[in-house]
Chains A and B, each alone.
Chain A
Amino acid sequence: NAGVTQTPKFQVLKTGQSMTLQCAQDMNHNSMYWYRQDPGMGLRLIYYSASEGTTDKGEVPNGYNVSRLNKREFSLRLESAAPSQTSVYFCASRAGGRNEQFFGPGTRLTVL
């Protein structure tokens, strides 16, 4: 039981490049989330998916798109990376009827 997995662990992009961050969970959770964490700040919600087939914007969605590929997988795409998107990105999932979210190990992204 791996929990929540994220790939890649590290990535360096040039301004304007695109990439997709992958997230998968094996806990059969309905809801999945993408957060970013910047120095001195708490985690901020980018997008979430309450159930398979649905996605909604969070607090900081600009510059990102998401895809809930199936119940297990939720990807985050940067179409044209900007230095302001340099951050650590965390994916999380939550079981129905529970309040706590389970987090992956994170992806550290640097945009030059």
Chain B
Amino acid sequence: DQQVKQNSPSLSVQEGRISILNCDYTNSMFDYFLWYKKYPAEGPTFLISISSIKDKNEDGRFTVFLNKSAKHLSLHIVPSQPGDSAVYFCALGGGYNKLIFGAGTRLAVHP
């Protein structure tokens, strides 16, 4: 049974517009939530995180929103740039800092 789902396998956005990536989870036990970005043939790179006690965290062009009642996490990228084209994973963290990852969303930002 999947604890975390990224329902959109892919997303295409025009350069300069907003990219919104979504993640849904089923269990309320997680203490923090993270987003990772992954380029082909590289390891995932940490982007931004949010604690379960907050509903928003912003870092430059990246903002993460957490809706605990809906068990929903989203990442907003504004403005989107071609270099943002990658696979984005949400990850949920809890006991012993083990992470549970979603399957990823492939973002393509085109000029």
A-B interface pairs (CB < 8 A), number:
59
Q: How extensive is the interface on chain A, given as a class?
A: 20 to 34
B89's partner among A42, A92, A106 (CB-CB below 8 A) is A42
B44 sits at the interface (CB 8 A)? yes
B residues 63-111 near A (Cβ < 8 Å) are 89, 91, 93, 96-104
Tell me, rounded to whole Å, the shortest Cβ–Cβ distance linking A101 to chain B: 6
B residues 45-74 near A (Cβ < 8 Å) are 45-46, 49
Point out the residues of chain A lying under 8 angstroms from B42, CB to CB.
105-106
Q: Which residue of B lies closest to A58 (CB)?
A: B98
Q: Tell me if B101 and A99 are in contact (CB < 8 A).
A: no
Selected interface stretch from A13-21, A43-51, A62-70, A73-81 = A43-51
For the complex, what is the distance from the CA of A101 to the CA of B92, rounded to whole Å? 12
Point out the residues of chain B lying under 8 angstroms from A105, CB to CB.
41-43
A2 sits at the interface (CB 8 A)? no
Point out the residues of chain A lying under 8 angstroms from B21, CB to CB.
none
B25 sits at the interface (CB 8 A)? no
The answer to whether A48 and B49 touch (CB under 8 A), given A43-B44, A90-B44, A106-B43, is no
Interface residues of A (CB under 8 A from B): 4, 31, 33, 35, 40-45, 48, 50, 56, 58-59, 90, 92, 94, 99-106
